[in-house]
């Protein structure tokens, strides 16, 4: 069988959305930050249990300037990944606070689809600097598929995080058939 899934990736600007997609789909990491303008998408294919899975990753710009056009990019999304940064600075703290803003925006345009959170940039913080309570708090607030620690730079956690959302979609749509 063949399955096609559109997965939308959102979060504040500079949290590593594009880098995570590149790491998962191409195994690459680019040091230089290049801001996404509007949206860009990547295509990735894989097999699960002999079935062909075609993934369209829609990477939406996180800057407020693009809020007006973002709504049209949510159409036909089968799942959403919200990314925030674990950096211990204003950008990281703000991106964590904005997870609920992103969640509310998704719910405004998408009905009842799986949502997963990637806490990105583990390479920039030590294990002792990670606030475990923020993961528990996020998971308790809403019905997220999970909160995964990732590093687009080192690849740590990236495969498992993407695998979780892709396998959830596969099992949901395989059940329907």
Which one-letter DSSP state was computed for residue 143? -
Q: What is the reported pLDDT for 27? A: 93
The whole-chain average pLDDT of the chain stands at 87
Mean pLDDT calculated for residue range 8-32: 91
Mean pLDDT of 26-50: 81
* Cα gap 3→10, rounded to integer Å: 23
Based on C-alpha coordinates, what's the Rg of the chain?
Answer: 15
Domain region containing 162 = 2-176
Q: pTM for the whole thing?
A: 0.90
pLDDT at 66 exceeding the cut of 60:
no
80-138 pLDDT per residue, tens:
999 999 998 999 999 999 999 999 989 999 988 999 999 999 999 876 666 667 767 77
List the CATH number of the domain containing 46. 3.40.50.300
Of 175 and 50, which is predicted with more confidence? 50
DSSP H helices, the chain, are 17-26, 67-73, 90-97, 99-109, 132-141, 158-176
The residue-averaged pLDDT of 152-168 equals: 96
* CA angle (142, 22, 132) in 5-degree steps: 35
Residue 32 has pLDDT above 80, yes or no: no
- Domains identified in the chain, total number: 1
């Amino acid at each position: 069988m063949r399955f096609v899934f559109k997965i939308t990736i959102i979060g504040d600007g500079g949290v590593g959305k594009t880098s995570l997609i590149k790491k998962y789909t191409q195994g690459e990491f680019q040091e230089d930050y290049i801001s996404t303008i509007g949206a860009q998408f990547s295509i990735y294919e894989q097999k699960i249990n002999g079935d062909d899975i075609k993934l369209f990753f829609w990477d939406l710009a996180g800057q407020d300037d693009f809020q007006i056009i973002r709504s049209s990019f949510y159409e036909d999304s089968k799942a959403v990944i919200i990314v925030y940064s674990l950096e211990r600075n204003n950008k990281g703290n703000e991106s964590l606070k904005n997870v609920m803003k992103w969640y509310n925006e998704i719910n405004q345009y998408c009905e009842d689809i799986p949502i997963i959170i990637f806490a990105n940039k583990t390479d920039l913080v030590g294990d002792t600097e990670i606030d475990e309570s923020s993961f528990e708090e996020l998971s308790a607030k809403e019905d997220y598929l999970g909160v995964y620690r990732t590093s687009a730079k080192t690849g740590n956690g990236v495969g498992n995080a993407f695998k979780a959302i892709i396998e959830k979609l596969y099992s949901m749509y395989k059940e329907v058939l």
